[in-house]
Structure 1
Amino acid sequence: MMYTSALRRALRLIPAMAVALALAACDVAPAHLASPPPLGARDTASRSGTGFAAVVARMKPVSEQICRERTPQLDCTFIVVVDDRAGQPPNAFHTRDAQGRPLIGFTTAMIREANDEELALIFGHEAAHYLAGHQARMRESATTGALVGGLLASLSGADQATAQRLANIGAGVGARSYSKDFELEADRLGTVIAWRAGFDPLVGAQFFRRSPDPGNQFLGTHPPNPDRLQLIARTVANLEAGLPI
C-alpha cells in the first residue's frame, strides 16, 4: 500500500516536468512565428537559384519524398516558416503547428549567417528530427525520468515542493539522456536528405567549424562539433560509395 500511494503521488507530479523538458529540448519553437516566407511556386522554383527561398524549394520536396519512403504513416507535408523577431540568435527548429502538421522554422539571423549548403544541411537535420520521432521519444524519456524522481521523493517522505523539484530534475535528466544520440541521428539522415537534394553536405558541415563547440559535457544536449563533422564525412563517403545508409 505504501508503494501504491507513493506511485500515485509521483504520477501527480509529472505534469510539471514540462518545464524541465522545455529547457532540455535541443530545438524550441518560439512563441511567435511569421507567416511562411514568400517562396513563390516553392516546389517548382528554378533549381539554379540561390538564397533561402531556393534552398527551401529544393529541400522541401526531397524531404517530403524521403519522409513518405521511410515513414509513410506520418504527415509528410512540411510547412516552412521564419521567426522574424528582432534580436533572435541564429537558430532552426522543428515542431508541429496547431493542426499537428510538421513545421520547420529558421530565425532571420540563421538565414543571414548561413550559406546555401549550410541552410540545406540544417533543413535536412530538422526534417530528420521529425522523421525519427525525436520529440515524442524525448517526451517519453522525460516522463520516465519525472516518474522516477517523483517516486523516489515520495518514498522518502519529501514535502510537495521538494518532490516537485526532484520530478522536474528527473524529467530534465531523462530528456537529455539521449539528446546527443538524437542529434547525431539527425545529422546522418539530414546529410542524406541534403545529398539527395543536390547539395554538398561537406560544405554545409563547415557551419560547425564556425559554431561554438559544446564539448563533451555530461548531460549536454549537443555532441562535440568534431564528432558531428566526422559523422557527416562518413555518411557522405558511404553515399559516394553507394553503400546503404
Structure 2
Amino acid sequence: MAWKSLLAVMAAITLAACDVSAPSAPLTVEPIGTVPRASAQNFAQVVRIVEPVAERECRARTSGVNCDFKVLVDDRPGQPPNAFQTLDRSGRPIIAFTQALIDDARNVDELAFVMGHEAAHHIAGHIPRQQQNAVAGAVIGGLGAVLLGGNAEAVQNAQRQGARINARAFSKEFELEADALGTVITARAGFDPLRGAEFFNRIPDPGDRFLGTHPPNAQRIDIVRRTAAGL
C-alpha cells in the first residue's frame, strides 16, 4: 500500500510540476499593441526587440527545446506587479506579465530585464529541474516514512512535504542563474541590464530566509553587475 501511494504521488508531482508557475485562471491577451495602457508602446517595443534575441540564445544554448516564446498579458483584475514563465500543454514556453508590472516599470530597460530573466528560466530548464527535485524529495520523504513504519496517510504526507522542500531548495540558485542569463539577453537586445535591475531597489527584500524562493535583492544586483562587467 505504501509503495503504491508513493508511486501515485510521484506521478501527480510529475504531471503538476510543469504547471508550477501557471495561473489559477486562464490568461487572456490582446494583441500587444492594443494593451489598454499608456505603457503599451514601451511594452510592445520591448517584446518586439527582446523576443528574437531570447529565441536565438535559446537555440544556441539548448538542443531539442521549444524556443518559440509566446508573450502574454495577465489582465486578471487585482493582480500585483509580477511576471512568470510557464509552459503550455504542447511545451511552448510562455512569458506572462501582469498589467500592474507593465504599468509599474519606470523604463524599457526594466521591462527588457524582466523579460530576459523569465526567458532565461526556460533556457536553463528550470521547470523540469524543479520537477526532478520535487520527485526526488517525494521519494526520499516517502522512503523515510516507510522505514519508520508509517501508514499510507503518513507516507503521502511525507512525500508531499519532501517534494515541497526539495523543490524550493534550489529556487534561489535558479533565480540567480536567470538573473545572470537575463543580463546577457537584455544587453544583447540593446538594453541596459544595470538600469533594468534597479527595480530590485523598489521591491521588498526577501532577505535570506530558510527555504525562501528568492535570494536577497543585493545578491541579485551583484550578479547582474558582475555578469554585465564580463560582457
- Cα distance, 1:72 vs. partner? 3.9
> Is the radius of gyration larger for structure 1 or structure 2?
1
- The AA in structure 1 aligned to 2:213 is T
For the aligned residues, what is the CA RMSD?
2.3
Please give the alpha-carbon distance, in whole angstroms, between the structure 2 residues aligned to 1:52 and 1:76: 20
- Give the 5 Å matches for 1:10-29: 10-15=6-11, 17=13, 27-29=21-23
Q: Is the 8 A contact 2:2 2:155 kept in 1?
A: no
Deviates more, 1:27-36 or 1:202-211: 27-36
2:161 maps to 1:169: yes
Please give the alpha-carbon distance, in whole angstroms, between the structure 2 residues aligned to 1:30 and 1:203: 32
- Give the 5 Å matches for 1:141-152: 141-152=133-144
1:187-224 alpha-carbon deviations (Å, 9 max, x no partner): 00000000000000010111100010111111111110
- The AA in structure 2 aligned to 1:10 is L
Runs of 5+ unmatched residues, structure 1: 41-48, 240-245
Q: Cα–Cα, structure 1 residues 162 and 181, in superposed 2: closer, same or farther, change >3 Å?
A: same
SS at match of 1:82: strand
The two structures have a TM-score, normalised by structure 2, of: 0.89
Equivalent in the alignment of 1:158: 150
Q: Is the 8 A contact 2:17 2:127 kept in 1?
A: no
Equivalent in the alignment of 1:118: 110
Which of 47, 62, 85 is the equivalent residue of 1:71? Answer: 62
- Give the 5 Å matches for 1:96-245: 96-114=87-105, 115-239=107-231
The two structures have a TM-score, normalised by structure 1, of: 0.84
- Cα distance, 1:77 vs. partner? 1.2
Please give the alpha-carbon distance, in whole angstroms, between the structure 2 residues aligned to 1:197 and 1:16: 39
Runs of 5+ unmatched residues, structure 2: 35-39
Q: Cα–Cα, structure 1 residues 54 and 142, in superposed 2: closer, same or farther, change >3 Å?
A: same
What fraction of aligned residue pairs are identical, expressed as a percent?
A: 50
Q: Is the 8 A contact 1:90 1:110 kept in 2?
A: yes
1:9-49 alpha-carbon deviations (Å, 9 max, x no partner): 432332454799699x5x44442211353348xxxxxxxx9
